[in-house]
Amino acid sequence: MKALVTGISGFVGSHMAEYLLRQGVEVVGTIRNRSRMEHIRHLLKDIRLVECELRDPFSVETLIDDVRPDLIFHLAAQSFVPTSWNSPIDTIHNNVAGQVNIFEAIRRFGLDTKMQIACSSEEYGHVEANEVPIKETNPLRPLSPYAISKVAQDYLGYQYYKSYGLHVIRTRTFNHTGPRRGENFVTSNFAKQIADIEKGKKPPVLHVGNLEAKRDFTDVRDVVRAYWLALEKGEPGEDYNIASGTCCTIAEMLALLLSFSKEKIEVKTDPSRLRPSDVEILLGDYEKFHKRTGWRPEIPFEQTMRDLLDYWRAQ
Ligand code: GDD
């Protein structure tokens, strides 16, 4: 069994590769020439890397012809919401064109590859109070260019399944975190600030944006197990929420992190961290996925956040 992981050097990609190797799967991953290798350095002897620009159809066609994977975990993306405000078309081009190129190559070579597409709870966007926990049937009311790019990826998955019978599973994953999470994202950003304060690298002031938003966090190690099950047991063409089924405010998440530290830390709002529009609440219902695959999140949020803080302490 051979799996192709796009974006293997990223946060989720590196955990996905570790999980697949434990299943005895042969792992091939795509990187770009500017990819950082620190998350996968320990795996280099066990995986094969291919340099590929996913936005370039020729590059993707060559990749697919060469690898001919049984499974694809399509994780490569511009995944930071604020970047999509600064450069909307780049996010849309990167996320949408990359996926179309993969689908087109699979279709043209007539492969029966099973593909998992990393869609997002951001697609739900504005959610009414009576719509939580959110089911897959909820209307999509995206609130950022990033969310739009993920809606496009999601519906392209549906369309290529309907039009050509490609084996596509759309996973709508709610927020996820854990060791190696990029420092831009809120959990990692706050954990790194605390670790830097503990090391005396920064004064005891922690900068924050909107603390009122509510998010549903799952551990990345539970998420990659879900992606594996999605291809093993998911129904082609379907969409599945991957979530914990609980949520907390960003303020509560921060309070938990601060409770792990002995430092006295002042919390200060930094207006540059506020967004033109923020999704107020994301709380997912993962029942559909559970019924189909038996998946449930296993790692408690406290453990995830402790592991994340320890990760930054060790950097
Ligand atoms: N990044 C960041 N930095 N966010 C902050 C900060 C801060 O200093 N302070 C408050 N927040 C708030 C944001 O306004 C948002 O409401 C929430 O924390 C989470 O922000 P992010 O961690 O940047 O994640 P996200 O919810 O925008 O998007 C993540 O989850 C999606 C799934 O719902 C990303 O991982 C996406 O790629 C993913 O699709």
pLDDT tens for each residue of 231-274: 999 999 999 999 999 999 999 999 999 999 999 999 999 999 99
Task: State whether residue 214 is helix, strand or coil.
Answer: strand
Read off the pLDDT of each residue in 69-77 and give the average, rounded to a whole number.
Answer: 98
The predicted structure's pLDDT at residue 249: 98
Residue 33 has pLDDT above 90, yes or no: no
**Nearest Cα to Cα of residue 219 among 90, 86, 311:** 311
In this structure, the residue with its CA closest to atom 15 of ligand 1 is: 213
Read off the pLDDT of each residue in 217-226 and give the average, rounded to a whole number.
Answer: 98
b/e for 126-162, b at 16 or more Cβ within 10 A? ebeeebbbbebebebebbbbbbbbbbbbbebbeebbe
The whole model's pTM is what? 0.98
Residue 35 has pLDDT above 90, yes or no: no
Read off the pLDDT of each residue in 296-305 and give the average, rounded to a whole number.
Answer: 98
The predicted structure's pLDDT at residue 34: 83
Distance from residue 82's CA to the centre of ligand 1 (Å) = 8
Report the amino acid identity of residue 73.
F
CA–CA distances in Å: residue 70 to residues 114, 172, 309: 6, 22, 36
- Whether ligand 1 lies within 6 angstroms of the CB of 184 is answered as yes
Residue 220 has pLDDT above 90, yes or no: yes
> Taken in order 105, 106, 110, 111, is the CA torsion positive or negative?
positive
Distance from residue 279's CA to the centre of ligand 1 (Å) = 9
Structure-derived torsion over alpha carbons of residues 237, 242, 246, 247, reported in degrees to the nearest 10: -100
Q: CB neighbours of 171 closer than 8 A, spacing ≥ 6? A: 116, 117, 118, 119, 226, 227, 230, 239, 240, 242
pLDDT tens for each residue of 43-62: 999 999 999 999 999 999 99
Residue 211 has pLDDT above 90, yes or no: yes
153 and 173 in contact (C-beta within 8 Å)? Answer: no
The predicted structure's pLDDT at residue 13: 98
Residue 2 has pLDDT above 90, yes or no: yes
- 95: confidence class by pLDDT, cuts 50, 70, 90: very high
Distance from residue 147's CA to the centre of ligand 1 (Å) = 12
In this structure, the residue with its CA closest to atom 20 of ligand 1 is: 186
Instruction: Supply 265's token pair.
Output: 């830390």
Read off the pLDDT of each residue in 149-176 and give the average, rounded to a whole number.
Answer: 98
Read off the pLDDT of each residue in 4-28 and give the average, rounded to a whole number.
Answer: 98
Read off the pLDDT of each residue in 123-138 and give the average, rounded to a whole number.
Answer: 97
Q: Name the average pLDDT for the chain.
A: 97
Distance from residue 53's CA to the centre of ligand 1 (Å) = 26
103 and 167 in contact (C-beta within 8 Å)? Answer: no
- 289: confidence class by pLDDT, cuts 50, 70, 90: very high
- Whether ligand 1 lies within 6 angstroms of the CB of 174 is answered as yes
- 195: confidence class by pLDDT, cuts 50, 70, 90: very high
**Nearest Cα to Cα of residue 165 among 237, 115, 229, 82:** 237
Ligand 1: atom nearest CA of 250 is: 18
> Taken in order 30, 298, 244, 113, is the CA torsion positive or negative?
positive
Q: CB neighbours of 105 closer than 8 A, spacing ≥ 6? A: 57, 60, 61, 63, 64, 65
% of the chain exceeding 70 in pLDDT: 100
Residue 207 has pLDDT above 90, yes or no: yes
**Nearest Cα to Cα of residue 140 among 148, 116, 213:** 148
pLDDT tens for each residue of 74-85: 999 999 999 999
Read off the pLDDT of each residue in 178-183 and give the average, rounded to a whole number.
Answer: 97
